[in-house]
Amino acid sequence: MSAYFHFERRYEGQSSGNRITYAVQRLIMLNVAVFAVQLLLEIPLGGYSAGTPGGIVTDLLAFSPTMLMKGCIWQPFTYMFLHSNLMHLFLNMVGLYFFGPDVERILSTRQFFRFYIICGVAGALAEFALWLIRTGSVSPTVVGASGATTAVLVAFAVAYPDREVFLIPFPFPVNARALVIIFIVMNLMSAMQNSSQAWMTHFGGLAAGYAYMKLVPVLRTRLQSWQGKTKKSKDEFGSLGDAVDNIFKFEDEKRRRR
């Protein structure tokens, strides 16, 4: 993520428990471990940095539209654990560290893992769709957790739109809703400048994160109504909806506390 944030102001001065949660901790550890493997395997073999085309790990696991067309169907799942350099890794993990725990507490650990992967894949597919539209364009090599961590930021903003965060170098706080708007504007500017940044991956993750948090509960309710059921569905779709429904239960509880 390209936004620089270092800490948040707790809502009404209250702590939400331990800062780090299980899924967030494991995802950070996995990303760091994979980056270490990139450094060990790619730089000694002649690369100037990890995550650049030509590296043994990057060529195998980074997302490339042309390689997906050739059958590398695992790449939309694996690219999000690679990073191009230490700063790239740091910014994504900072975003995950500060915004992920609150989202995980809402969704549950299992559903947070699923949410993270689904939104990361959505980011890759958005980049793939853009490549298909731009017929004849050079196939990009995409690495990084930005699609997934952008989705985490959006999920946080959906659940806590008025929670304040500090952005460096600005000396004043902004709320989570404004942070998402700033992020969108920055990516639109990147797109207009034909930047090498995978801005479409960010938008794909953003859209998937918002849809997951907003639409799944609605679709689940309509499915239950169509089926004529009064109890919660036990199928996979119902499980997703049950997890995301906790958002609304949380908001009801917050209003009662006020």
**Sequence spans of domains, the chain:** 5-215
Task: For residue 9, give the H/E element and its range.
Answer: strand 5-9
Q: pTM to 2 decimals?
A: 0.77
- 73-111 pLDDT per residue, tens: 999 999 999 998 899 999 999 999 999 999 999 988 998
Residue 22 pLDDT > 50:
yes
Q: Which of 18-32, 53-67, 207-221 has the highest mean pLDDT?
A: 18-32
> Whose structure tokens read 């907003």?
214
Q: What is the DSSP letter of 116?
A: H
1.10.287.1770, 1.20.1540.10, 1.10.240.10, 1.10.150.120: which CATH number matches 5-215? 1.20.1540.10
Do 118 and 208 meet the contact criterion of CB atoms below 8 Å apart? yes
> At residue 72, what are phi and psi to the nearest 5 degrees?
-80, 70
For 49-77, what is the mean pLDDT? 83
**Lowest-pLDDT range, 5-9, 153-157, 170-174, 196-200?**
5-9
For 202-206, what is the mean pLDDT? 94
Query: In this predicted structure, what is the pLDDT of residue 103?
Result: 94
**Alpha carbons 220 and 239: distance in angstroms, whole number:** 9
User: What is the three-class DSSP state of 207?
Assistant: helix
Query: In this predicted structure, what is the pLDDT of residue 226?
Result: 79
- 210-246 pLDDT per residue, tens: 999 988 777 767 777 777 654 554 554 455 455 555 5
Q: What is the DSSP letter of 127?
A: H
Instruction: Please state, in angstroms and as integers, the Cα–Cα distance from residue 184 to each residue in 106, 116, 181, 205, following that order.
Output: 24, 19, 5, 12
Query: In this predicted structure, what is the pLDDT of residue 45?
Result: 46
**Alpha carbons 173 and 150: distance in angstroms, whole number:** 19
- 125-153 pLDDT per residue, tens: 999 998 888 866 677 889 999 999 999 99
Query: In this predicted structure, what is the pLDDT of residue 52?
Result: 58
| The pairing of beta strand 164-167 with beta strand 173-175 | antiparallel
For 181-204, what is the mean pLDDT? 82
Residue 33 pLDDT > 80:
yes
Query: In this predicted structure, what is the pLDDT of residue 67?
Result: 92
Query: In this predicted structure, what is the pLDDT of residue 174?
Result: 86
- 165-191 pLDDT per residue, tens: 877 666 778 899 999 998 899 888 877
User: What is the three-class DSSP state of 7?
Assistant: strand
**Alpha carbons 185 and 244: distance in angstroms, whole number:** 27
